[in-house]
Structure 1
Amino acid sequence: MVIVTVREEQAIRQMTERLVENYTETYSPEHIESAVGAARRKFEGRPVRQFVPILIERLVRRELEKVVEEAEAAAVALEKAAQPTEAKTFALPDLRRLWSANKRATLGVAAAVVVLVLAVVLVVREPVSQPPVAAPAPAAAPTVVRGVVGSEKMAFFQDPKVIDALARNGVRVEVEPAGSRQIATSIDLSKYDFAFPSSEQAAERIQRQNNVSAKYTPFSSPMAIATFTPIADLLAKAGAVRPGPVSTLDLRRYLDLVRTGKRWDELPDNTAYPVRKNILISTTDPRSSNSAAMYLAAASYVANGNTIVQGQAAEQTVLPALARLFVGQGYTENTTEGPFNNYLATGMGPTPLVWIYEAQYVEATVRGQVKPEMTLLYPSPTVLSRHTLVPFGATGDRLGRLLSTDPELQRLAAEHGFRANDAAQFAKVTAERNVPVPTDLIDVVATPTYDTLEHLLDGVTQSYN
């Protein structure tokens, strides 16, 4: 619990600094810190802490933007009221409430409102009689769709813009996070309308177990490695990284370094990271997480002579090399949020190399969390994680179609770093943020079948004992 608390404190502190920087023109640091404290108190005593910093940030951003949006809406209403052809009966906003929320945030808007009020007084005429307007019919209650999703998609489903886009389509989604392998193997799916793991292999098993033929793949993400420029430079000197506009990690050379037990302090000319521990990529737990299974899939292809592993003989041949990639790490977490948040918060000391979804790095860049010394590597070869939704009825099917075809939801998926079906959306986001990602994925290999992947994962699991 101490480790979790330290990480949470670090994440909240960094999030607060980011909010102060983002809203420095409109809110005082004291006001923002107070809002963070109020939001944080709502989660006191909750046993699951992993997503608390993300939830706090969502609540605070929504609160900070609320007052300004209301003031701007009031200004628009006054402008409309100033038109001479319309009736002049309108309600002024409660300027005292807007002013009390934050004086700096509303000073400019309030001044504009005063000017508009004076203009209205000067041009006002006799009200134009209007026929009575019938009250609008009450909106139909949205359809609630419940699902279990890979943890890397929680931020997407908790995004207020995503929630609003779904609501406009008459849908409200309630999701719970889990490791993708857990979703496919150990979670009771009978209480959900859909399952949304991070791979088509896990989705395939869910389909077979539940006798479902339908599936949707609204977006995907290649696997990548989050690291730091000094680490990438060290590995380049060791012949494991090929520098370029989009740098790559040669998995064959990397497996050689792991096989020989090479330590960081044994690399030549290493003054940046002379640490006496083995060169290893940090991953999640292969017994529960899809991202670790994707790591194993890419490594197994290279260990098997650049060939997809098939059959028991090939499985037994590659298992020793694969086991070394995991058992030497020590404790590993169940979801990619854990190691990646640690990477963002603590630097290269404990986590010089982290196996992640490309989408996580892109999303963190969009949110301003990536520091200048951080960089992204692509394993060569890499594998593509196709986020696949399996519906269990009409409501889940409706959500799958919306996520796959609705332009607004596809755009928002790209903002969260996913490669949407509409490739232009992802290209636009990464170009605007100068994220060094490949436009076209070339060095991508297929993963083994679900059964073969399960055999390899079971073999690695046994090596822990």
Structure 2
Amino acid sequence: MNRTLLGLILLAVVAAVAVGVSMLDLSTLTRNVTTRDPVSVSIYYGGEKSALLRNEKVQRILEGRYKITLQATKAGSVEMVTTLPVTGRDCLWPSNMVAVELARDSGRTVLGDETIFNSPIVFYAWSDVADALIEAGAVRAREDGFLAADVQAMGRLIEAGTRWKEDLGLNIYGPFKVFSTHPAKSNSGNIWSGLLATVFNSGQTPTQDSLPAVLPRVTAYFDAMGHMEASSGDIFENFLKQGMGARPIIVGYENQMVEFLAENAQYADLIRSKIRVLYPEPTIFASHPLISLTPACGRLAEALIDPELQAIAWADHGFRTGLIGVENDPADIGVARLPETVALVVPMPSAKVMEEIIEAVR
């Protein structure tokens, strides 16, 4: 075979390969999921993620792109990693990185964890409550227009036994307190207990050595709370339904208001006129780690960091990404205004310290 003929044959082969590659769906080369076998994944998840998992766009990605049939049960973030039975569960999806260590300390077999989202803890207050706290010097308007809550100042109001009616001039019975979920069951209450311990410890994150001095004050605070919900979603719903007299101010996640307004646009003007979002200074970020208990969880972990799903979680639900190198643009959210970044963040106490707090308030 002469060289000219050989060259023509090679050229034809290269051309045929090029045409074949151009007809491929390149996404299947980089995300080889459409040819995978379907998988069923069973999880416990924190209640603040309920709307996200109901989102039809999210479900299409999970079921269509990743072939996942999700069996999801709502549970308190602390409960799922400490006391709930996990036989038959593939993943735990709490709302706190400390939960990973709590899971290990509770005997769960943790194969790995992946931080999916971050949500700063915020306070939700009725407008009259926010105005009273501004008057008391515990809340101020920031230069960017958002409201900041001085957590140390709020701690002083709690320690002084400040009363809603007598001292703050509001028609609310009892002493001032920020209502939360149960710290031994739900993450938002758990984070608030850790932040409150830091407040009572003169702004320093408590250690196992310093905790004994502040723990009685933390437990006394929660003992006086009365009934505490076991889910962040439940306390937010009750806050909206029961009004200022029952829940003047609560601990929640930044994304909860975004979700509510996205699903209830008809109430947007009313909500914006009646409710204020207060950003604690300092605050604590609630990370949302997906904890793998079985290899089947790996498929869900891959799906949840899918760029399209992450974009939906931000635009529709206000979940800030937990991925390195990915940024969230507040302009993507049409129903609410969020700050581009959240500063003045303090760390959670260690898992050992939080275990002592959980046991004390249980």
TM-score range, shorter chain: 0.7 to 0.9
| Alignment partners' CA distance in 2, 1:382 and 1:294 | 9
Matching residue within 310, 322, 325 for 2:218: 322
Larger radius of gyration: 1
Matching residue within 272, 282, 302 for 1:381: 282
Structure 1 unaligned residues grouped into runs of 5+: 1-137
Check 1:428–1:395 CA distance in 2 against 1; reply closer, same or farther (3 A cut).
farther
If the length of structure 1 is used for normalisation, what is the TM-score?
0.65
RCO (CA 8 Å, sep 6+): is it higher in 1 or 2?
Answer: 2
| Alignment partners' CA distance in 1, 2:35 and 2:300 | 20
Q: How much does 1:191 deviate?
A: 0.4
Does residue 365 (structure 1) correspond to residue 268 (structure 2)? The answer is: no
| Alignment partners' CA distance in 2, 1:345 and 1:238 | 27
Q: Which structure has greater helix proportion? A: 1
Aligned to 1:398: 299
If the length of structure 2 is used for normalisation, what is the TM-score?
0.82
| Alignment partners' CA distance in 2, 1:154 and 1:426 | 23
Aligned to 2:15: none
| Alignment partners' CA distance in 2, 1:428 and 1:191 | 41
The alignment partner of 2:165 has SS state of helix
Query: For residues 172-220 of structure 1, what are the alpha-carbon distances to aligned partners after superposition, in whole Å with 9 as ceiling and x for unaligned?
Result: 2110011011111111212011111111111223245334342111111
Q: Is the 8 A contact 1:227 1:375 kept in 2?
A: yes
Q: How much does 1:140 deviate?
A: 7.6
Q: How much does 1:227 deviate?
A: 0.9
The letter of the residue matching 2:335 is R
Does residue 277 (structure 1) correspond to residue 177 (structure 2)? The answer is: no
Aligned to 1:234: 132
Q: How much does 1:433 deviate?
A: 2.3
| Alignment partners' CA distance in 2, 1:337 and 1:426 | 25
Q: Where does 1:70-109 land on structure 2 (aligned, <5 Å)? A: none
Check 1:362–1:325 CA distance in 2 against 1; reply closer, same or farther (3 A cut).
farther
Does residue 183 (structure 1) correspond to residue 80 (structure 2)? The answer is: yes
The letter of the residue matching 1:235 is L
Two-structure CA RMSD over aligned residues (Å):
2.0
Does residue 204 (structure 1) correspond to residue 107 (structure 2)? The answer is: no
Kindly tell me the number of residue pairs found equivalent between the two proteins: 317
Check 1:229–1:191 CA distance in 2 against 1; reply closer, same or farther (3 A cut).
same
The alignment partner of 2:296 has SS state of helix
The alignment partner of 1:401 has SS state of helix
Check 1:286–1:434 CA distance in 2 against 1; reply closer, same or farther (3 A cut).
closer
Does residue 433 (structure 1) correspond to residue 335 (structure 2)? The answer is: yes
Q: Where does 1:248-397 land on structure 2 (aligned, <5 Å)? A: 248-267=148-167, 270=169, 273-312=170-209, 314-367=210-263, 368=265, 369-370=267-268, 371=271, 372-397=273-298
Aligned to 2:5: none
Q: How much does 1:388 deviate?
A: 0.5
Moved more, 203-212 or 328-337: 203-212
Aligned to 1:417: 318
The letter of the residue matching 2:167 is L
Structure 2 unaligned residues grouped into runs of 5+: 1-33
Q: Is the 8 A contact 2:93 2:291 kept in 1?
A: yes
Q: How much does 1:392 deviate?
A: 2.3
